[in-house]
Structure 1
Amino acid sequence: MISIRPEALADIPHVRKINETAFGQPSEAGIVDALRTSCPEAISLVAESDGDVIGHILFSPVFVEGEAQTIQGMGLAPMAVLPEHQRQGIGSKLVQAGLEILRRNDCPFVIVLGHPEYYPRFGFKPASQFGLTCQWDGIPDEVFMVIVFDEAVMAGVSGVAKYRNEFDAAM
Structure 2
Amino acid sequence: MEIRTERISDYDEVFQLNYLAFKNREDESRLIERIRLSKQFIPELSLVAEENNHIVGHALFSKAEVIDGEKNHDVIVLAPVAVLPSNQKKGIGSILIQEGLKRCTELGYDFVFLIGHPTYYPKFGFKPARKYGFELKQFNVSDEVFMVYELTQGNTNSLQGELRYPETFFV
Report deviation, 1:153.
5.3
CA gap of 1:29–1:137, structure 2 versus 1, over 3 A, is closer
Partner of 1:54: 56
Instruction: Tell me what 1:130 maps to.
Output: 132
CA distance in 1, matches of 2:110, 2:31: 24
Question: 1:119 maps to what in 2?
Answer: 121
Partner residue, 1:93: 95
> What amino acid is the match of 1:163?
Y
* 1:77 counterpart = 2:76: no
Q: CA RMSD in A?
A: 1.5
Aligned to 2:30: 30
Specify the alignment match of 1:18 in structure 2. Answer: 17
Q: In the TM superposition, what whole-angstrom CA distance separates every residue of 1:108-153 from its partner, at most 9, and x where no partner exists? A: 1000110011101111000012111113242011000001123565
**Length, aligned pairs only:** 168
For 1:38, what is the secondary structure of its paired residue?
coil
What are the superposed Cα offsets for residues 81-105 of structure 1, whole Å, 9 maximum, x if unpaired? Answer: 0101000000000000000001111
CA contact (8 A) 2:59 2:78 kept: yes
- The 2-side partners of 1:93 and 1:17 are apart by 20
Q: TM-score, normalised by structure 2?
A: 0.92
Q: CA deviation at 1:155?
A: 3.1
Once the two structures are aligned, what percentage of the paired residues are identical? 37
**Uncovered stretches (5+) of structure 2, i.e. residues with no partner:** none
| Match of residue 41 from structure 1 | 42
Conservation of the 8 A alpha-carbon contact between 2:68 and 2:162: yes
CA contact (8 A) 2:110 2:150 kept: yes
Instruction: Return the TM-score normalized by structure 1.
Output: 0.92
- The residue number in structure 2 matching 1:6 is 5
